[in-house]
Amino acid sequence: MFKHILLPTDGSELSESAIKTGVHLAKALGAKVTGLTVIPKHHHSGEEELEGESGTPTSLNSHLLFVKLVASGNGVDCDAMLTRGDSPSEEIMRVAGELRCDLIVMASHSRKSLKALFIGSETQKVLVHSHVPVLVCR
C-alpha cells in the first residue's frame, strides 16, 4: 500500500514520537522513509549542511540523525533532507510531491519557540491542503 513515507521533524518530543510511529509502519509495510527538516530561507547559522567537515551531523541536523537512527535500528531504508522555505507546510507538501511519497506522518503540534521549525498550525495546513494522505500522531 504505502511505499515511501515522509517524516517531517522539528526535533521535538512529539515529532520524535511521530517518527517512531512512521518507521514502525514503514517496517510493517516494507516501505522506505525520508526524514525532512524545514528551515526558513533567511536562517544562516552555518548549520545547514547535513554533515559537518568531520562527517558528523551539526546540532540542527540532529533531528535528521534521529530519523536515520530509528530507521536503521528497525532495518528501514531511510533518506534525510533539509530544505529551506518560508512556509514549512508548503515545503512538506512540495517535497512529498517531488519525492512521490504516498504518506506523510507527522506530529499533531509542537511547542518549539523557533519559528524556523513548525508549529501545530503547520500540521493543520498539511492535513487540509495535501494531496498525499497524512497520518497525524498525538
Q: In this predicted model, what pLDDT tens digit does every residue of 45-104 receive, in sequence order?
A: 554 444 444 444 455 578 999 999 999 999 999 999 999 999 999 999 999 999 999 999
Query: What separation in angstroms does the CA of 70 have from each of 3, 102, 129?
Result: 18, 20, 28
Residue 34 has pLDDT above 50, yes or no: yes
CB 79 within 8 A of CB 34: yes
Number of domains observed in the structure of the chain: 1
Q: Is the pTM of this model over 0.95?
A: no
The answer as to whether 113 is a domain residue is yes
Q: 81: closest CA among 39, 43, 133? A: 39
CA distance 122 to 109: 8
The answer as to whether 25 is a domain residue is no
Amino acid at 9: T
Provide the domain limits for residue 47.
4-9+36-137
Counting residues of the chain whose pLDDT is more than 70, the rounded percentage is 78
**What's 65's domain CATH number?**
3.40.50.620
CA distance 61 to 47: 7
The answer as to whether 100 is a domain residue is yes
The answer as to whether 15 is a domain residue is no
The answer as to whether 118 is a domain residue is yes
What pLDDT does residue 61 have? 77
The answer as to whether 14 is a domain residue is no
Q: 43: closest CA among 10, 73, 7? A: 10
The answer as to whether 78 is a domain residue is yes
